[in-house]
C-alpha cells in the first residue's frame, strides 16, 4: 500500500491559557488521498479548525504545544522550519477561510492579491501573474474578469469575494486545499453556487480537499469521506454513504436526529442531544461523550467512564458498544425516527 498523500498520526494540540491547558485536539489520526475530499464535521470547539491551522503551521508557537505527526507527501510538517512551511503555503497547500471580507486586504485590488502567491512561488513577472489572476477570476465565474480584477474587495459582493478567495487558493494549482467553513457566511442560493464550483474545479485540477463544516447537508453534497469530531477527537469515520446511512456512534445518531430536514416528520418534536459539549479544560474521563450518551448503560461495567474508546484506522466509530449492538440499536431505535416523512413523497 502506498502511503496516503496526507497522513496525520496521533496529533495532540494544546494551548496554554490563563485558566489552564486547553486540549483542543487530543489524539487525532486520519489519512487523505490525492484528489479526494475529506469532510470534517463537528460542533464549535470540537477541534476541527485547530487541526487544519496546525497542518499549515498557523498556530501561535508561544502558547501552543503540538505533538504527533503530520506527513504531507513524505514531508513531516510538525517539525518543519518556518521557511519550509512558507514554501508550502499558497503553493502546495492552500486555504479558504469562512469570512472572505476579513481574509482579503481592503488596501489592495483583488487582482493584485490573487496574483501575489503566484509571483512569490513561481517567480513570474508582475505582468504574467496579473494575466494569470484574470484567467483564474474568469474560471471561478466572475463576469468581466479583466475589469473586475482592478476592483477592491469592498466592491465585490459576498459570493464574489468567496469566488476571489477560491481563485487565489487555486492559482498555484495546490495539491491540498483546506476549506474552513467556506460557505457558512453565505446565503443558500450562493452557497449552492460555490459548492458546485468547488466540485467542478476539483474535477479539473485533481486537488485533495479537506472540507470543514458544521452542516451535515453540505458534507453529504461535497465529501467522499466523513470524519465526525467531538471534543478534540474523531468519533466516527467512513465514506459519506456509510456514515450517513448506517452511522455507528451515538453522537452521530444524535446529530442526525436533531437536524431539521425538509422532509422530516412534523408531528413529533426534534430530538436534540441533551446537555452541552464539555469544556476542554477539564474533559470528562473515559469517553468524552458519555455524559450526554443515552446508551452507556448497555456497555458492560463502567467502561464508558473509565476507558476512552479509540478509533480504529479503518471504517470505525470510537464507542464501546459492540458492532452488533451498534447495528441493532441503529436499525431498531434510530432509523425509524429518521425515516419518517419519506412515505408521503413516495
Partner 1 sequence: MTEDPVLPAPREATDEAAREPLLVVEGLTKHFPVKGGFPVRRTVGQVQAVDGIDLTVHVGESFGLVGESGCGKSTTGRLITRLIEPTAGTITYRGRDIGHASRKQLAPIRSEIQMIFQDPYSSLNPRQTVGKIVSGPMEINGIEPDGGREKRVRELLEIVGLNPEHYNRFPHEFSGGQRQRIGVARALALEPKLIVADEPVSALDVSIQAQVVNLLQKVQRELGIAFLFIAHDLAVVRHFSQRVAVMYLGKVIEVGDRDSIYTRPRHPYTHALLSAVPEVNVTDEDTGGRERIRLAGDVPSPINPPSGCRFRTRCWKARDRCAAEEPPLVQLSGNHDGHLTACHFPEDPTTAREEDIVLDPALAALEGESK
Those residues whose C-beta lies under 8 Å from the C-beta of residue 19, and which sit 6 or more positions away, are 281
Q: Which is nearer to partner 1, 66 or 235 (by Cβ)?
A: 235
The piece of 94-102, 109-117, 132-140, 303-311 that touches partner 1 (CB under 8 A) is: 132-140
Lateral strand order in the sheet of 208-213: 93-96, 176-180, 208-213, 37-41, 225-230, 233-239, 316-317
Q: Which is nearer to partner 1, 82 or 343 (by Cβ)?
A: 343
3-state helix, strand, coil in the chain (%, to 5): 40, 20, 40
Strand partners for 211: 39, 179
Element holding 136 (H helix, E strand) = helix 126-139
Please state the closest distance from residue 255 (CB atom) to partner 1, in A.
Answer: 6
SS3 96: strand
Residue 205: all three cell numbers together = 485540477
Task: Examine residue 146 and tell whether it contacts partner 1 (CB under 8 A).
Answer: no
Task: Examine residue 204 and tell whether it contacts partner 1 (CB under 8 A).
Answer: yes
Q: Which is nearer to partner 1, 83 or 189 (by Cβ)?
A: 189
Task: Examine residue 317 and tell whether it contacts partner 1 (CB under 8 A).
Answer: no
Report CA 287 to chain centroid distance, whole Å: 22
Task: Examine residue 155 and tell whether it contacts partner 1 (CB under 8 A).
Answer: no
CA distance 257 to 334: 8
CA distance 43 to 181: 12
Q: Which is nearer to partner 1, 72 or 136 (by Cβ)?
A: 136
Among 86, 135, 151, 215, binds partner 1 (CB under 8 A): 215
Task: Examine residue 342 and tell whether it contacts partner 1 (CB under 8 A).
Answer: yes
Those residues whose C-beta lies under 8 Å from the C-beta of residue 343, and which sit 6 or more positions away, are none
Please state the closest distance from residue 145 (CB atom) to partner 1, in A.
Answer: 10
CA distance 264 to 261: 5
Show the binding pattern over residues 84-123: x = contacts partner 1 (CB under 8 A), - = does not.
----------------------------------------
CA distance 81 to 131: 32
- Is residue 78 within 8 A of residue 59, CB to CB? The reply is no
Q: Which is nearer to partner 1, 93 or 164 (by Cβ)?
A: 164
Among 88, 94, 104, 195, binds partner 1 (CB under 8 A): 195
Please state the closest distance from residue 303 (CB atom) to partner 1, in A.
Answer: 24
Ranges within 251-280 binding partner 1 (CB under 8 A): 254-264, 266, 269-274, 276-277
Residues that bind partner 1 (CB under 8 A): 43-44, 138-143, 157-160, 163, 187-193, 195-197, 200-201, 203-204, 214-218, 220-221, 244-245, 254-264, 266, 269-274, 276-277, 338-339, 342, 345
Amino acid at each position: 500500500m502506498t502511503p496516503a498523500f496526507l497522513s496525520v498520526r496521533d496529533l495532540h494540540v494544546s494551548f496554554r491559557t490563563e485558566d489552564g491547558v486547553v486540549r483542543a485536539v487530543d489524539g487525532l489520526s486520519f489519512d487523505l488521498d490525492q484528489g479526494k475530499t475529506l469532510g470534517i464535521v463537528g460542533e464549535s470547539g470540537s477541534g476541527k479548525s485547530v487541526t487544519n491551522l496546525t497542518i499549515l503551521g498557523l498556530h501561535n508557537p508561544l502558547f501552543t504545544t503540538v505533538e504527533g505527526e503530520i506527513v504531507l507527501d513524505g514531508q513531516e510538517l510538525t517539525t518543519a522550519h518556518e521557511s519550509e512551511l512558507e514554501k508550502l503555503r499558497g503553493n502546495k497547500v492552500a486555504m479558504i477561510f469562512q469570512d472572505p471580507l476579513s481574509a482579503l486586504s481592503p488596501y489592495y485590488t483583488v487582482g493584485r492579491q490573487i496574483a501575489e502567491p503566484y509571483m512569490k512561488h513561481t517567480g513570474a513577472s508582475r505582468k504574467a501573474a496579473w494575466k494569470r489572476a484574470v484567467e483564474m477570476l474568469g474560471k471561478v465565474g466572475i463576469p468581466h474578469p479583466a475589469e473586475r480584477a482592478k476592483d477592491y474587495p469592498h466592491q465585490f459582493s459576498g459570493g464574489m469575494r468567496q469566488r476571489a478567495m477560491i481563485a487565489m487558493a487555486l492559482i498555484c494549482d495546490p495539491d491540498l486545499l483546506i476549506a474552513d467553513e467556506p460557505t457558512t457566511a453565505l446565503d443558500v442560493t450562493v452557497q449552492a453556487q460555490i459548492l458546485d464550483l468547488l466540485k467542478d474545479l476539483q474535477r479539473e485540477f485533481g486537488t485533495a480537499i479537506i472540507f470543514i463544516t458544521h452542516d451535515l447537508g453540505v458534507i453529504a453534497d461535497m465529501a467522499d469521506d466523513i470524519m465526525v469530531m467531538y471534543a478534540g477527537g474523531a468519533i466516527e469515520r467512513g465514506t459519506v454513504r456509510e456514515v450517513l446511512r448506517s452511522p455507528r456512534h451515538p453522537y452521530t445518531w444524535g446529530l442526525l436526529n436533531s437536524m431539521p430536514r425538509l422532509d422530516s416528520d412534523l408531528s413529533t418534536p426534534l430530538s436534540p442531544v441533551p446537555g452541552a459539549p464539555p469544556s476542554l479544560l477539564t474533559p470528562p474521563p473515559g469517553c468524552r461523550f458519555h455524559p450526554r450518551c443515552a446508551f452507556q448503560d448497555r456497555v458492560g461495567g463502567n467502561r464508558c467512564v473509565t476507558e476512552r474508546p479509540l478509533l480504529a484506522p479503518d471504517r470505525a466509530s470510537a464507542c464501546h458498544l459492540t458492532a452488533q449492538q451498534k447495528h441493532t440499536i441503529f436499525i431498531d431505535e434510530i432509523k425509524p425516527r429518521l425515516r419518517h416523512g419519506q412515505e408521503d413523497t413516495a
